[in-house]
Copies of this chain bind each other. A is one copy, B any other.
Amino acid sequence: MNAVALLSGGLDSATAVAIARAEGYEIYALTVCYGQRHAREVQAARAVGQALGVREHKFVDITLREIGGSALTADIPVPTDRTEEEMGAGIPITYVPARNTTFLSVALGYAEVVHADTIVAGMNQVDYSGYPDCRREYLQAFEQLANLATQAGVEGRARFRVWAPLLEMTKDEIIRAGLDLGMDYGLTWSCYNGGDLACGRCDSCRLRLAGFARAGARDPLLYAE
Say what secondary structure dominates the interface of chain A: helix
Asked if A101 and B58 sit within 8 Å, CB to CB, the answer is no
- B contact residues around A30 at 8 Å (CB): 67
Cα of A132 to Cα of B99 in the assembled complex, Å: 23
Q: A60-B67, A67-B109, A154-B132 are in contact. Are A101 and B138 (CB under 8 A)?
A: no
Cα of A113 to Cα of B97 in the assembled complex, Å: 7
Complex copy number for this chain = 2
Asked if B109 and A64 sit within 8 Å, CB to CB, the answer is yes
Q: A105-B98, A148-B137 are in contact. Are A67 and B58 (CB under 8 A)?
A: yes
CB of A108 within 8 Å of the partner chain: yes
Cα of A110 to Cα of B163 in the assembled complex, Å: 27
Asked if A61 and B63 sit within 8 Å, CB to CB, the answer is yes
Cα of A96 to Cα of B151 in the assembled complex, Å: 10
Asked if B113 and A67 sit within 8 Å, CB to CB, the answer is yes
CB of A112 within 8 Å of the partner chain: yes
Contact of A151 (CB < 8 Å), options: B132, B141, B150: B132
Among residues of B, the one whose C-beta sits closest to the C-beta of A140 is B148
Interface bracket on A: 35 or more
Asked if B64 and A59 sit within 8 Å, CB to CB, the answer is no
- B contact residues around A58 at 8 Å (CB): 66-67
Q: Can you pick out 20 interface pairs between chain A and chain B where the beta carbons lie within 8 Å of each other? A: A60-B63, A60-B64, A60-B66, A62-B63, A64-B106, A67-B110, A69-B112, A91-B154, A91-B155, A97-B110, A97-B150, A98-B149, A101-B145, A132-B148, A132-B151, A132-B154, A137-B148, A141-B141, A141-B144, A145-B145
- Listed from nearest, the 7 A-B pairs whose CB atoms lie closest are A98-B109, A97-B109, A69-B113, A97-B112, A102-B105, A101-B105, A62-B62
Residue ranges of A at the interface with B (Cβ–Cβ < 8 Å): 30, 58-64, 66-69, 91, 95-102, 104-106, 108-110, 112-113, 132-133, 135, 137-138, 141-142, 144-146, 148-151, 153-155
